[in-house]
Amino acid sequence: MTNPALRTGTEALRLAAQRLAAAGIEAPAADARRLLAHAMQLAPDRLTLEAPRLLSATEVAAFEAALVARLHRQPVAQILGFRQFWGRDFRVTRATLDPRPETETLVAAALTRPFVRVLDLGTGTGCILLSLLAEQPAARGLGIDASADALAVARENAVALGLGARAKLRLGDWFEGVHGQFDLIVSNPPYIAAAEMPGLAPEVRDWEPALALTPGGDGLAAYRAIAAGARERLAPSGRLLLEIGPMQGAAVIALLDTHGLPCATVLADLDGRDRVVSVWRDA
């Protein structure tokens, strides 16, 4: 810390939360706790017990570096290097979208029915694909992404979770180079309209890859590409699950209907916002 008199974790937390709050960080106390636990190399649930002790010089330096990064609006997950999703830790870098809790709505919906072959379009960290494979031991999956750097992160996550043998990861643009049919196709594609990008929080706009956030224009380009190719790649009675922006449900349903996938429904996340479009082939 900048204050040489600062010695305990408790005092470090108090002053760090003040600094983050003054910078306009939305959850300063929670962020300070996560960053201090990381600097002290503790599980978060151990911090309360360990915080009263004196910090070592190494811990002080690590905490200060993490705080400076956060004050520059770098997301906590990037500073820590991981994000927990569906009960597992996933490596996160600037090349990947930070997995969101609301995306777990898609995973929960996918797991309501069995599947053997799953395709994840725009896999990013692999959090959706790998979570599904971990919950379905007989399943195998293919993750497609247009970013080689994101695929490298997904491969690390697959190996770390012991899923490397069941998860294939391939560079491509949506259905490019994809053959065969799948029981389940999932995607959290870029869906933010170009006009909405300037209004995003700095943590998102300035630190996460634009390729994973927006396709430009009205934000629907990815859904157009997926809708055009999904029916051919879905096995009979296969399912397609797409994460959407809260106001995009009607537009995405119309696109699917146009391409032979009628009767789609919209599922809400835990906050009650439209989050996932679900459709069956030959529903």
Domain ranges of the chain: 9-72, 86-280
Across 35-81, the runs of DSSP E, i.e. the strands, are none
pLDDT of residue 7: 81
Residues 162, 196: Cα–Cα separation, whole Å: 38
Q: Is the pLDDT of residue 2 over 70?
A: no
CATH top-level class of 86-280: alpha beta
pTM surpassing 0.85? yes
Q: Is the pLDDT of residue 283 over 90?
A: no
Tell me what the pLDDT averaged over the chain comes to: 96
Averaged pLDDT, 171-191? 96
pLDDT of residue 1: 42
Averaged pLDDT, 168-174? 97
Averaged pLDDT, 109-121? 98
4-29 residues labelled b (16+ CB within 10 A) or e (exposed): eebeebebbbeebbebbeeeebeebe
Q: What is the pLDDT of residues 52-94, one digit of tens each?
A: 999 999 999 999 999 999 999 999 999 999 999 999 999 999 9
